[in-house]
């Protein structure tokens, strides 16, 4: 006899089956939570500090003359507040995170344990090089394996994110052209399906951006590329596998045409996790490529950082890599931090220090724990999982590019929603009620009503089946005309659907106390 057969049922009734509303706003053990500024206890603090021994006369007019305006909470109140907030967040530790092209991959606890070793976790960036030989050796080893996996002779380790890596690569390209007397090259070609950071980065460097058309099967239009290559073109920026989740079959020809025109081939490596251990970008003619360590090598991602986006470089661009360089002189490791000697042509620095040490440790631990065969399986399983989702959902939803397999992510359009009065956004909001974070919506822009799903290699078949079953049932409900289920969703989230237009046009970014007789309303909520 199971627990479900003893006494009352252990699974709760669905909320829709009861009209009961709790007095507190809580739902069972899921507590309701106000803004921290709305909580009582303005004169409380969890810490008692002794009076200062000295006055603040040396601070001049910087001395605070009014209360700082922060709420006062006891330690239990503060702890409970942030624990309750964490229970309202979706996270990879809670369920599948199906965002495409910027995926949340599981971060193995082994990586976290190694990164917290005192020799790495307590290391100060200004420590003398004689005392940081182990850290420098790790950076050098990580760089070695990044070069090995990509087939590239050099790597800049200091860029701190994908877009930062794009900036690094284009600055190397700009420096190389100027050194060769080709500074007049001021145009960058970018496919229509590129990540939005690609044209933005090119413009930031001072280049004009020209769009390359896409074929009906979601890949770079080679004829359009050939027509737009000219002596004014500095580089082409191509994501491979691309943002439609497809491998660019003509990538070698793209490289050949680009080099023939005297330009450089920049590859957006955000999707390297789909080919790591299987394909070396250097063999495809790539001159520069950033690697998102959070995506391919499992370092944490999200929340504004920290991140790491090393950039691998071809022999033609290697001399222009930014400082610092980690080098070994036979007696140990050192940092080359000035544009002199072998780094004489370095275009400068990307950041104040050497990169993100914690991310380097995690990525290196991931590499060592997987080995070469394991990293190859990472790519194979990521592609297998995405194709499984595509196959499972193709009967209920419409694949954007139905012919042939996808790579690491499955892309659907909104054709299957025609005539239902339900949008991609409505469908995504209903997914929240089912306990799933929505997939990437409306991107890439070349696909109408896009729904981009990337499971990564870390999801089991059981979890993929659970996810696909939920989406299939939701799709059936949409086609059956259950419009209210979608237009009013989410019903079970702590707050209902926001008025996103009002929130964007009239955001309330600062909390102010409401009059005592007026209950504060959710910001821009229905």
Q: What is the pLDDT of residue 305?
A: 59
pLDDT band per the 50, 70, 90 thresholds, residue 202: very high
- CATH number of the domain located at residue range(s) 111-365 in this protein: 3.40.640.10
Q: What is the pLDDT of residue 302?
A: 61
Q: What is the pLDDT of residue 511?
A: 80
For residues 310-332, average pLDDT: 94
pLDDT band per the 50, 70, 90 thresholds, residue 287: very high
Determine the Cα–Cα distance for residues 241 and 450; give it in Å rounded to an integer. 17
pLDDT digit string (tens) for 219-236? 999 999 999 999 999 999
For residues 462-484, average pLDDT: 96
Q: What is the pLDDT of residue 515?
A: 67
Is residue 5 scored above 70 in pLDDT? no
Where on the phi/psi map is residue 475: left (φ > 0), alpha (ψ -120 to 50), or beta? alpha
Determine the Cα–Cα distance for residues 526 and 522; give it in Å rounded to an integer. 8
For residues 163-184, average pLDDT: 97
- Whether 377 contacts 393, CB under 8 Å: no
3-state secondary structure 399-412: ECCCCCCCCCCEEE
DSSP secondary-structure letter at 129? G
Nearest to 220 by CA among 260, 251, 263: 251
Is residue 81 scored above 70 in pLDDT? yes
Is residue 246 scored above 70 in pLDDT? yes
Average of per-residue pLDDT values in the chain: 89
Alpha helix (H) residue ranges in 128-221: 133-150, 162-179, 197-205
pLDDT band per the 50, 70, 90 thresholds, residue 196: confident
Higher per-residue confidence, 343 vs 11:
343
Q: What is the pLDDT of residue 4?
A: 45
For residues 409-420, average pLDDT: 97
For residues 266-287, average pLDDT: 96
Q: What is the pLDDT of residue 188?
A: 98
pLDDT digit string (tens) for 29-76? 788 888 888 887 767 777 778 888 888 888 888 888 887 778 888 888
Higher per-residue confidence, 455 vs 494:
455
Dihedral of CA 433/439/443/448: which sign?
A: negative
Is residue 127 scored above 70 in pLDDT? yes
For residues 275-282, average pLDDT: 97
Q: What is the pLDDT of residue 199?
A: 95
pLDDT digit string (tens) for 444-453? 999 999 999 9
Q: What is the pLDDT of residue 526?
A: 39
**Count, residues in the chain:** 526
For residues 184-190, average pLDDT: 98
Is residue 303 scored above 60 in pLDDT? no
Out of 191-195, 217-221, 248-252, which region has the weakest mean confidence (pLDDT)?
A: 191-195
Nearest to 382 by CA among 364, 370, 394, 395: 370
Higher per-residue confidence, 68 vs 466:
466
pLDDT band per the 50, 70, 90 thresholds, residue 325: very high
Nearest to 409 by CA among 255, 111, 193: 193
pTM recorded for the entire structure: 0.88
Q: What is the pLDDT of residue 10?
A: 44
Could you tell me the residue ranges of all domains in the chain?
111-365
Q: What is the pLDDT of residue 3?
A: 46
């Amino acid at each position: 006899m199971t627990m479900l057969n003893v006494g009352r049922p252990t699974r709760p009734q669905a909320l829709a089956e009861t009209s009961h509303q709790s007095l507190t706003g809580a739902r069972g053990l899921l507590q309701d939570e106000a803004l921290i500024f709305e909580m009582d206890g303005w004169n409380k603090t969890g810490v008692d500090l002794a009076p200062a021994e000295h006055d603040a006369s040396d601070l001049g007019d910087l001395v605070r003359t009014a209360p700082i305006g922060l709420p006062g909470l006891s330690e239990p109140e503060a702890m409970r507040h942030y624990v309750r907030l964490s229970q309202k967040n979706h996270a990879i530790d809670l369920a599948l995170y199906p965002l495409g092209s910027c995926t949340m991959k599981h971060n193995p606890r082994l990586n976290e344990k190694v990164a917290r070793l005192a020799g790495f976790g307590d290391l100060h960036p200004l420590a003398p090089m004689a005392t940081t030989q182990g850290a420098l050796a790790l950076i050098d080893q990580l760089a070695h394996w990044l070069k090995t996996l990509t087939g590239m002779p050099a790597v800049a380790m200091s860029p701190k994110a994908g877009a930062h890596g794009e900036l690094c690569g284009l600055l190397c390209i700009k420096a190389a052209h100027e050194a060769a007397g080709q500074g007049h090259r001021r145009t960058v070609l970018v496919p229509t399906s590129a990540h939005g950071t690609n044209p933005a980065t090119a413009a930031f460097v001072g280049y004009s951006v020209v769009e390359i058309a896409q074929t009906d099967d979601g890949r770079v239009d080679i004829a359009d590329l050939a027509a737009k290559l000219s002596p004014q073109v500095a580089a082409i920026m191509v994501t491979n596998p691309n943002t439609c989740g497809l491998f660019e079959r003509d990538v070698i020809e793209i490289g050949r045409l680009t080099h023939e025109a005297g330009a450089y081939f920049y590859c957006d490596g955000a999707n390297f996790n789909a080919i790591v251990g299987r394909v070396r970008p250097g063999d495809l003619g790539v001159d520069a490529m950033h690697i998102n360590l959070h995506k391919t090598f499992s370092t944490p991602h999200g929340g504004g950082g920290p991140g790491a986006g090393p950039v691998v470089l071809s022999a033609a661009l290697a001399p222009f890599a930014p400082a610092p360089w980690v080098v070994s002189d036979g007696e140990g490791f050192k940092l080359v931090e000035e544009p002199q000697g072998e780094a004489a042509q370095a275009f400068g620095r990307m950041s104040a220090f050497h990169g993100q040490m914690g991310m380097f440790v995690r990525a290196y631990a991931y590499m060592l724990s997987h080995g070469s065969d394991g990293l190859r399986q990472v790519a194979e399983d990521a592609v297998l999982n995405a194709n499984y989702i595509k196959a499972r959902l193709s009967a209920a939803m419409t694949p954007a590019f139905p012919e042939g397999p996808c790579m690491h992510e499955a892309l659907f359009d909104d054709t299957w929603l025609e005539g239902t009065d339900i949008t991609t956004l409505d469908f995504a909001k209903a997914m929240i009620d089912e306990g799933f974070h929505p997939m990437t919506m409306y991107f890439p822009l070349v696909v109408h009503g896009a729904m981009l799903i990337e499971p990564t290699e870390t999801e089991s078949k059981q979890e993929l089946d659970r996810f696909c079953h939920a989406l299939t049932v939701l799709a059936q409900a949409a086609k059956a005309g259950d419009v209210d289920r979608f237009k009013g969703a989410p019903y079970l989230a702590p707050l209902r659907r926001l008025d996103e237009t009002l929130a964007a046009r009239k955001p309330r970014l600062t909390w102010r106390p409401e009059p005592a007789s007026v209950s504060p309303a959710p910001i821009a909520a229905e």
